[in-house]
Structure 1
Amino acid sequence: MSDPNPEAPVEPTELAHTPPAAPSTTAKLVAEAFGTLLLVFGGVGTAVFASNHFTDTPAAVYTAVALAFGLTVVAGAYAFGPVSGGHFNPAVTLGLAAAGRFPWRETGGYIAAQVVGGAIATTLLVLIGLFGPAGWLQTAQDGGFASNGWDALSPAGFGMVAAMIAEVVLTALFVLIILGVTHPTRGTPLAGLAIGLSLTLIHLISIPVDNTSVNPARSIAAAIYGGGEALAQLWVFIVFPIVGALIAGFAYKALFDTTKPTGPVGR
């Protein structure tokens, strides 16, 4: 006789859903290197190739370079941002740390990865130039290889103080935008697009002033192949973007991320 009360079928238990493991430190550093490589290869590459070809249309070159930097940031933010946060810029890393959004202890590794990624990018551009038209690479290097600079290295002849002011102000604005659109509660899923468009605007403003840095890794990468004068002026494009980023980071934290203490009514 069959069992009048057969055991009810056991429902399969739901598999436990565990969140994916956080990226390793190595993965984060590699992502920062690749993202910075993309940024420098796209932006500086457009600058050196376009400026050596479209010599009679500087306005078109400026626009193309500005769009190249902006588009590479958009692509890098969505491709590598989920892994490392998508800084691709030592000034951004330090600005985020100043705002309390990134651990200070991790800034050194990020900055090293960004500088290496940028240097690899310009080295790849030089390798391409070696197999270009006769004299192309020498012409590009004689022109500074899209390095940042003032006086003779400024596209419109602006002086050193103008470059300092531009780098502080524009880097600060850039970091403020980044902090705003990536805020954990007030941010936007379109943060990558907003950041890329803001970088495009920054380049449209300041390419005539000093070729636009706002990124020490980009400046170092170009100056390596830009000649002695570019290297001599490089310090401005390391120091002043960082100054602007730190001002923005500390200011954002003080102005927009403070919490009002609660207490009894009337006190």
Structure 2
Amino acid sequence: MSLVRRSIAESLGTFWLVFGGCGSALFAAAYPELGIGFAGVALAFGLTLLTMCYAIGNISGCHINPAVTLGLVAGGRFPVRELLPYVVAQVVGGILAGGVLYLIATGKAGFDPVSGFASNGYGEHSPDNYSLAAALMAEIVLTAFFLFIIMGATHKRGHAGLAGVAIGLSLTLIHLISIPITNTSVNPARSTGVALFQGTWAIDQLWLFWLAPLLGGVLGAIIYRCLYASDD
């Protein structure tokens, strides 16, 4: 499969992740009487990833996350020469999804993106006022385990047909843990896609939601590689 086609698949997959996950947070989380709440948003993110694992996994590998792509490079599972095209494609997909969400959200009177727009934040912009240090630690640890699970689930001696289920459920669990802390990133493309349309504090804090997931992705891959060095 050509790099162009795989990059397009990554854009589509990231679009679906941001549109489905952030869309559920924007439109359904607190809907009067029928709101899905934190648990529903966590499940929405997990379902978007799970469905894309089976839709584009055989095309691009379904990274749909710069931290995953970098982690797979660090883990020896992906060529470094294709890192940048994948990351660019993922960020473009996230921004396109953020744009579509913005267009839909502005269809309701009184909409104000400054109130959050499903963006990630720390300090006063954390859902439960967690500090920068707490946000940094949570994002690094959770992304590290995310990469570890991805690499383990897709290991040559694993159950390939069930890998998407394990990976999707792991993202759901990650959100259940960390929505109150940072609104959950573990994915710089997801953070960028909505921060640009939030337009103020989310852009100022975006650096953390690039730095922490990328560090966590590399850390998780290194731990995995140490444990499975003889097999890979």
The 1-side partners of 2:231 and 2:68 are apart by 24
Larger Rg: 1
2:64 maps to 1:88 = yes
- Tell me the equivalent position of 1:127: 103
**Superposition deviation, residue 159 in structure 1:** 0.7
Alignment of 1:213-252 (within 5 A): 213-252=185-224
The 2-side partners of 1:203 and 1:173 are apart by 13
Is the 2:66–2:90 Cα contact (8 Å) retained in structure 1?
yes
Is the 2:122–2:131 Cα contact (8 Å) retained in structure 1?
yes
Superposition TM-score, scaled by structure 2 size: 0.96
Q: Detail structure 1 runs of 4+ shifted over 4 Å in the superposition.
A: none
Q: Deviations over 1:107-130 (max 9, x none)?
A: 000000000000000101111123
Q: Deviations over 1:198-243 (max 9, x none)?
A: 0000000000001000000000111111131111011000001000
Q: 2:13 aligns with which of 32, 35, 41?
A: 35
Q: Percent identity?
A: 50
**Superposition deviation, residue 189 in structure 1:** 1.3
Is the 2:114–2:200 Cα contact (8 Å) retained in structure 1?
no
Higher relative contact order (CA 8 A, sep 6+): 2
Q: How many equivalent pairs are there?
A: 232
- 5+ residue gaps, structure 2: none
- 5+ residue gaps, structure 1: 1-22, 261-267
Superposition TM-score, scaled by structure 1 size: 0.83
The 1-side partners of 2:135 and 2:209 are apart by 8
Is the 1:41–1:125 Cα contact (8 Å) retained in structure 2?
yes
The 1-side partners of 2:73 and 2:118 are apart by 29
Whichever residue aligns with residue 169 of structure 2, its letter is: L
Is the 1:89–1:216 Cα contact (8 Å) retained in structure 2?
yes
2:89 maps to 1:113 = yes
RMSD: 1.6
Whichever residue aligns with residue 94 of structure 1, its letter is: L
